[in-house]
């Protein structure tokens, strides 16, 4: 297969890097059947108001609507999804010893399921719930199955209050531990690759600036324009699922 010049150039940059950090957004998971949030016509927030159903205040004031109108549909998409070739390619890059960390804005756990180990989930994940009153944590698997199959909202068995998913909602603060790790990796990387993110959501969209400030090349692989396009070393408006495996294969050639 003939490699496009832009992919060859990006592959050369990746090949020479040893501490690659990847920032992923919803665009890497759309091919796995999970809709993104902002695409015209298909984005989840084109149909729903996130502040009304997916915010910390919505969970506190209307938890039933939060579960029925947002968490259950999202969980149904995510738990039925499988890692696609883009997720698998990043796991391969990590196994080759060239990827330091994946920083993701996604809650779908597909990077973990693809075999990646050092994944920083800035917005949390579908892995578990916690009780807002006693703070006890509960594994998510069976509770999400009950939610999907029976539309059953999970309650704390001790406090009898509705459990909150360990997901960062609108109005919530990020985990400081995760944010500190993400900023450190961004400052120490020798190349940052942004995959499937519009870079319109903060504070995650500040991380590429940290890499740029240290002189690291920035490669953006996404269908849409981003606020950092003018500062990027390379912009690849390619199909992520086909381009990323090819890019990483080229980067690992002869290694």
User: Could you read off the pLDDT of 201-251 as tens digits, one per residue?
Assistant: 889 999 999 999 999 999 999 988 999 999 999 999 999 999 999 999 988
In this structure, which CATH number among 3.30.365.10, 3.60.150.10, 3.30.1600.10, 1.10.10.60 belongs to the domain 35-80+126-167? 3.30.1600.10
**Which residue bears the tokens 């696609």?**
84
The more confidently predicted of residues 47 and 144 is 144
Q: Which of 42-46, 73-77, 145-149, 162-166 has the highest mean pLDDT?
A: 162-166
pLDDT tens figures, 177-192: 999 999 999 999 999 9
Instruction: Decide if pLDDT at 53 tops 90.
Output: no
**Average pLDDT value for residue range 37-58:** 65
Instruction: Decide if pLDDT at 37 tops 90.
Output: no
Q: Which helix (H) or strand (E) holds 164?
A: strand 164-167
**Which residue bears the tokens 């919803």?**
26
**Average pLDDT value for residue range 34-49:** 60
Instruction: Decide if pLDDT at 82 tops 60.
Output: yes
Residues 186, 23: Cα–Cα separation, whole Å: 9
**Which residue bears the tokens 């890097």?**
17
Give the chain's radius of gyration (CA, Å). Answer: 19
How many other C-beta atoms lie within 10 A of the C-beta of residue 58? Answer: 21
Residues 26, 65: Cα–Cα separation, whole Å: 23
Q: At the fourth CATH level, which superfamily is domain 1-32+84-123+174-255?
A: TPP-binding domain (3.40.50.1220)
Residues 137, 201: Cα–Cα separation, whole Å: 28
Q: Specify whether the CB–CB gap between 226 and 194 falls below 8 A.
A: yes
**Which residue bears the tokens 């390379």?**
234
HSE on the CB side for 198, CA within 13 Å? 10
> Which entry of 87, 111, 112, 123 is annotated as an active-site residue?
123
Write the CA distances from 188 to 15, 64, 217, 219, integer angstroms. 17, 43, 12, 16
Instruction: Enumerate the CATH 3.40.50.1220 domain ranges in the chain, comma separated.
Output: 1-32+84-123+174-255
Which among 189, 21, 29, 20 has a CA at the least distance from the CA of 106? 29
Q: Output the pLDDT for position 1.
A: 34
Q: Which pLDDT band, with edges at 50, 70 and 90, does 199 fall under?
A: very high
pLDDT tens figures, 85-143: 999 999 999 999 999 999 999 999 999 999 999 999 999 999 999 999 999 999 998 99
Q: Which pLDDT band, with edges at 50, 70 and 90, does 39 fall under?
A: low
Q: Output the pLDDT for position 7.
A: 86
Whole-number mean pLDDT of the chain?
A: 90
Instruction: Enumerate the CATH 3.30.1600.10 domain ranges in the chain, comma separated.
Output: 35-80+126-167
**Average pLDDT value for residue range 34-57:** 66
Q: Specify whether the CB–CB gap between 251 and 15 falls below 8 A.
A: yes
Q: Output the pLDDT for position 129.
A: 97
Q: Output the pLDDT for position 224.
A: 86
Least confident among 36-40, 132-136, 163-167, 205-209: 36-40
Q: Which helix (H) or strand (E) holds 64?
A: helix 63-65
Q: Respond yes or no: is residue 237 known to be catalytic.
A: no
């Amino acid at each position: 297969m003939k490699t496009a010049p832009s992919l060859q150039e990006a592959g050369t940059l990746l090949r020479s890097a040893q501490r690659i950090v990847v920032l992923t957004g919803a665009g890497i998971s759309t091919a796995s059947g999970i809709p993104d949030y902002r695409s015209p016509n298909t984005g989840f927030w084109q149909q729903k108001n996130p502040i009304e159903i997916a915010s910390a205040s919505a969970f506190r004031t209307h938890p039933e609507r939060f579960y029925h109108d947002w968490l259950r549909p999202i969980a149904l998409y995510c738990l039925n999804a499988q890692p696609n070739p883009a997720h698998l390619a990043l796991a391969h890059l990590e196994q080759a010893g060239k990827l330091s960390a994946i920083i993701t804005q996604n809650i779908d756990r597909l990077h973990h399921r693809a075999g990646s180990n050092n994944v920083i989930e800035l917005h949390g994940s579908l892995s578990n719930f916690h009780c807002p009153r006693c703070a006890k944590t509960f594994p998510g698997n069976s509770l999400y199955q009950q939610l999907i199959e029976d539309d059953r909202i999970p309650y704390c068995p001790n406090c009898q209050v509705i459990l909150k998913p360990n997901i960062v909602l609108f109005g919530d603060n990020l985990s400081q531990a995760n944010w500190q790790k993400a900023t450190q990796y961004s400052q120490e990387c020798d190349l940052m690759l942004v995959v499937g993110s519009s870079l319109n959501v903060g504070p995650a969209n500040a991380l590429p600036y940290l890499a740029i400030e240290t002189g690291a090349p920035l490669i953006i692989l996404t269908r849409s324009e981003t606020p950092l396009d003018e500062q990027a070393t390379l912009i690849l408006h390619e199909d992520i699922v086909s381009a990323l495996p090819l890019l990483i294969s080229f980067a690992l050639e002869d290694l």
